[in-house]
Amino acid sequence: MIFSSLTFLLIFLPITLLLYYLVPGIRLKNAALLLCSLIFYAWGEPLYILLMLYSIFMNYVCGLLMDKHKKMRRQVLIFGIIINLFLLGFFKYAGFLSESVSGLFGSFGVAVPARNIALPIGISFYTFQALSYLIDLYRGKFPVQKSFVRFALYITMFPQLIAGPIVRYESIAKELEKRTISPAKFGQGALLLIEGLAMKVLLANQIGTMADELRAMSTSLSTVSAWLGALAYFFQIYFDFAGYSTMAIGLGLMLGFTFTKNFDHPYMSTSVTEFWRRWHISLGTWFREYVYIPLGGNRVGTLKHIRNILVVWILTGLWHGAAWNFVLWGLYYGILLLLEKFVLLRLRLPKVIGWIYTTILVLVGWVIFSGETLIQSMAILSAMFGNGTGFFDKTALYYLSTGGIILFLCAISSTPILGKLRGKLLRTTAGRTLLTLVYVGLLALAIMFLAVQNYNPFLYFRF
């Protein structure tokens, strides 16, 4: 089940909210929310819910053991990390590793049998949350969570379960025990839910058809067509991912939880470094806290600093998917960030120049990321930089004429302009009334689109 579905919006969410608000007390609300979250996950993953429950139980027990046996805390932490990474590695990377080994050494008679193992949805997200809990518990940032229901709810809470943001335990530890549930908070969350739904359904899904169609023509694209396809995916992945995160944050508020912002207008960045401070903030924070800093961060020699950045970005690429284009994508950003750190940012370029080169580099990065294979990505990049079927063709004209309006709307919506306009409208009674009508209209329009269109991709199946 996904947020942008009629089943979720018209059946699951109303029933969940009704049950949640009817039961008294935080303990029963936690139990009700845990039950609904398990149903939410089981709807799409009836078998792999057993894997998630095993992960919850194992990490819960590790936490208790770390608390009870102080002298063995380190050993228990290492055990917990190994088990978590083994589960993630087996289900996400076993096939990729076997195919890679067979491909590299097949000519020498080396072949590793590969099995197509279905990837449990959201395993990367809930595994990283469990790891952060164990590591921070070891660091003494908070006391152990002795309630199994509260711990299980932290891992399984449906708003952030399958697509983030990656929530660190310490940020919601108090809310698991005591939280404010108010009409104002509920209303703010509902507005964010509608905003995110509009981003996903009215923008990402609409521009996504153009992205998919042009990507499928990777070997027969003109230069302009290739850039249009890259631009379409550039907007699709932003509004899809940011929209889903916005819905998750809104749903959290409706339930009394405060999740941190996950996107902050990343396409306004004037450097690649700034882009990654604004894009998928929770993932960047996770890698900084649990990989980059433990490796020494920037408090080491130059060579080790370079190593640390490259390690983090190769792992970031692999986290997104088990394929060579993700490895290349991670390495691409590692190199770009090193170039900025040691060269480009020291030049103090004008902001407009920084924005232009950042946008182009991010666009290129999304082409590497989006390809079903590395060969497809390279074909599109080749067409973008002059090795296509010409500069301009009928395909480019068609997509410019049919997709021009949605591209314009995406461009405007990716800036802070609409947010500033909303802030001004909230200052007056007439403005708030108008804004209410706009949000009701967006909700109705999104539901209509979901009812009549079959195109509603879920981009996070790789995670």
User: Which residues are catalytically annotated?
Assistant: 320
Per the structure, the count of domains in the chain is: 2
pLDDT for residue 397 is more than 80: yes
pTM of the model: 0.92
What average pLDDT is seen over the chain?
91
Q: Convert the pLDDT of each residue in 238-272 to its tens digit.
A: 999 999 999 999 999 999 999 989 999 999 999 99
Q: Are the C-beta atoms of residues 241 and 459 closer than 8 Å to each other?
A: yes
CA nearest 414: which of 191, 208, 190, 243? 243
Q: Considering the domain boundaries, does residue 172 fall inside one?
A: yes
3-class secondary structure, 322: coil
Give the pLDDT band (50/70/90) at residue 112: low
Give the DSSP H/E element, type plus range, for residue 65.
helix 49-68
- Distance of alpha carbon 136 from alpha carbon 289, whole angstroms: 10
> Are residue 190 and residue 119 in the same domain, yes or no?
no
The pLDDT score that the predictor gives to residue 108 is 55
Last residue of a domain, one of 160, 178, 196: 178
| Average pLDDT of the segment spanning 432-455 | 92
Residues 213 and 108 in one domain: no
Identify whether 115 is part of a domain: yes
**Residue partners of 428: CB distance under 8 A and separation at least 6:** none
In a domain, 160, yes or no: yes
Cβ pair 135, 290 in contact under 8 A: yes
Which pLDDT does position 462 carry in this prediction? 60
| 35 and 75 together in one domain | yes
Q: What is the pLDDT of residues 59-93, one digit of tens each?
A: 999 999 999 998 899 999 999 999 999 999 888 88
Q: What is the pLDDT of residues 197-209, one digit of tens each?
A: 999 999 999 999 9
Does 214 share its domain with 110?
Answer: no
Instruction: Give the structural domain span for 276.
Output: 185-462
Q: What angle do CA 144, 150, 156 make, to 5 degrees?
A: 115
Confidence band (pLDDT; 50, 70, 90) for 46?
confident
Sign of the torsion formed by the C-alpha atoms of 113, 117, 320 and 298: negative
Place of tokens 């169609």: 213
* Residue 190 within any structural domain of the chain: yes
Pair (128, 190) in one structural domain: no
- CA dist 208 and 237 (Å) reads 8
For residues 388 and 223, the answer to whether their CB atoms sit within 8 Å is yes
CA 275 and chain centroid, separation: 15
pLDDT of residue 227 exceeding 60, the answer is: yes
Q: Does one domain contain both 398 and 299?
A: yes
Identify the domain boundary among 124, 156, 178.
Answer: 178
129 and 200 housed in the same domain: no
- pLDDT tens profile 326-374: 999 999 999 999 999 998 888 888 999 999 999 999 999 999 999 888 8
Q: Are residues 160 and 189 in the same domain?
A: no
Q: What is the mean pLDDT of residues 231-240?
A: 96
Same domain, 194 and 230: yes
Considering the domain architecture, whether residues 166 and 258 belong to the same structural domain is answered as no
Task: Say whether pLDDT at 21 is over 70.
Answer: yes
Q: Are residues 152 and 229 in the same domain?
A: no
Question: What's the DSSP call for residue 266?
Answer: G
Q: Output the pLDDT for position 385.
A: 93
Residue 1 belongs to a domain: no
Last residue of a domain, one of 157, 178, 199: 178
340 and 278, same structural domain?
Answer: yes
